[in-house]
Amino acid sequence: MNQTRRTFLATGAAATAALGMPAILRAQPSEYVIGASLPLTGPFATAGQLVAPVFTMARQLINDEGGIAGTPIRFVTEDSGYIPQNALANYQRALATEGDALVAYFGDSTGFMKLVAPELTGDQARLMGSTSFASELANPATNPYQYLAGPTYQDQFDILLQNIKDQGGSSVAFIFSNTEFGRDPIEHGKMRAEELGIEVVLEETTKAQGADIPTHVTKLAQSGAEYAILQGYVTGVWPQLIGGARQFGLPTQFMGTFWGMEKLIADRVTEEAGPFLDGYQGVMPYRYFYDREDAPRYQTFAAMASEMFAGTPLENYMSTWALQTMCALDIAIKALRDTAEAGQELTADNLSAALSGISDWDTGGFFGGPVTMENNKIGTGRVYQYSAESRLFTPTSDWFTV
């Protein structure tokens, strides 16, 4: 007869008590498994392919640090093609294959996180981080097992709008893709702008790819916006919008949110099309990888990357997307270790409770200081500005917590 970890615990409780051993020790499998879906193909394959190698580094680092209360971890990653149904099938396959050894999962999109949410009940529930900063997920009452490794898109709009206010700005345009990702913070942003006395003079929706740049730039020019916040883009559209506006002679100050803040993209655009992104600003939850002086965790990553990824683009630089993944994994590992060290079984409910208990946590430098998990998110970030000359994003604000 096959015996699961839970049935073993139930039937073996008396024997465990007789031996005087903590239950958690008797429940440990030979290894724990964390599954992941990544967009290794499809529209966001660039991001997925830059993120995939860090799972190898994370496994070595976490196991060198003792795994989960002495038990090593293993990652199982699969391609989703950025299709939520594919990622859901990957998750269901991981559950069927790994069983109770599967203790956490990393999703690749807001679409997947929303699709899988109703399935996270009973024995099918696992602690789940992802690439998403969707505001809807930051609600422990409706999504108790899902968490964000940073601020929601609404929080990021709050940070940018406060920064605009602090700079004396009075008008802003919201330009966003016609996706759930793009629309997420718009209504909230309008309310926050009104509270701050900033007029939203344009709400412009674009295609996520292949947008009609001249038309959108013309509408931006007609609006007279001092600032434009771009939302819902990753590798494309946002640089073309800025380039089109500069060709049009617009003085508008452009700002982006997390997925529009990758140095590799800005550098490539600068190299191919010139320095028109100079001065572009946006919000980042984390330090950039080259800002390591006060970030011992980053220093560890750098030492490992120089050895593990020698001769590749990852040898000296980790993308913002890779940092988000490492932060999400560190959050999961903290919840797993805190739960195991408390002598509790690694159930989704226990891990959710541990997640909610993360307070004044020193992450080793991802953020500007100790952070607290509130509503299953970490609502902090700061504004950075890109220099086409130095090819660096550097901070122009202090850290905001919202």
Mean pLDDT of 279-305: 97
Nearest Cα residue to 89 out of 76, 78, 74: 78
Helix (H, G, I), strand (E, B) or coil at 110: helix
**CATH label of the domain that carries residue 393:** 3.40.50.2300
Mean pLDDT of 222-227: 98
Q: Residue 27: its pLDDT value, please?
A: 53
Question: Which residues face 34 on adjacent strands?
Answer: 75, 104
Mean pLDDT lowest among 21-35, 109-123, 126-140, 278-292: 21-35
Report the distance separating Cα 8 and Cα 104, nearest Å: 21
Question: Edge to edge, what strands does the sheet with 73-79 contain?
Answer: 73-79, 32-38, 102-107, 127-130
Question: Would residue 69 count as lying in a domain?
Answer: yes
168 burial type by CB count under 10 A (0-12 exposed, 13-18 middle, 19+ buried): exposed
User: Do 297 and 261 have their domain in common?
Assistant: no
Mean pLDDT of 387-394: 97
User: Do 191 and 315 have their domain in common?
Assistant: no
Judge whether 77 and 7 are in contact, CB under 8 Å.
no
For residue 7, pLDDT over 60 is answered with no
Higher pLDDT, 394 or 9: 394
In the structure, what pLDDT confidence band is assigned to residue 294 with cuts at 50, 70 and 90? very high
Average pLDDT, the chain: 92
Q: Residue written as tokens 């997920």? A: 137
Question: Would residue 188 count as lying in a domain?
Answer: yes
In the structure, what pLDDT confidence band is assigned to residue 253 with cuts at 50, 70 and 90? very high
**Number of structural domains in the chain:** 2
For residue 60, pLDDT over 80 is answered with yes
Q: Residue written as tokens 């008797």? A: 26
User: Do 94 and 171 have their domain in common?
Assistant: no
State the residue range of the domain holding 59: 32-151+291-371
User: Do 347 and 199 have their domain in common?
Assistant: no
User: Do 268 and 391 have their domain in common?
Assistant: yes
User: Do 134 and 77 have their domain in common?
Assistant: yes
User: Do 175 and 101 have their domain in common?
Assistant: no
For residue 21, pLDDT over 50 is answered with no
Q: What is the pTM of this model?
A: 0.89
- Tokens read off for 231: 């939302």
User: Do 106 and 40 have their domain in common?
Assistant: yes
Higher pLDDT, 339 or 27: 339
Query: Between the CA of residue 203 and those of 81, 199, 220, what are the distances in Å?
Result: 30, 11, 9
User: Do 207 and 82 have their domain in common?
Assistant: no
User: Do 388 and 241 have their domain in common?
Assistant: yes
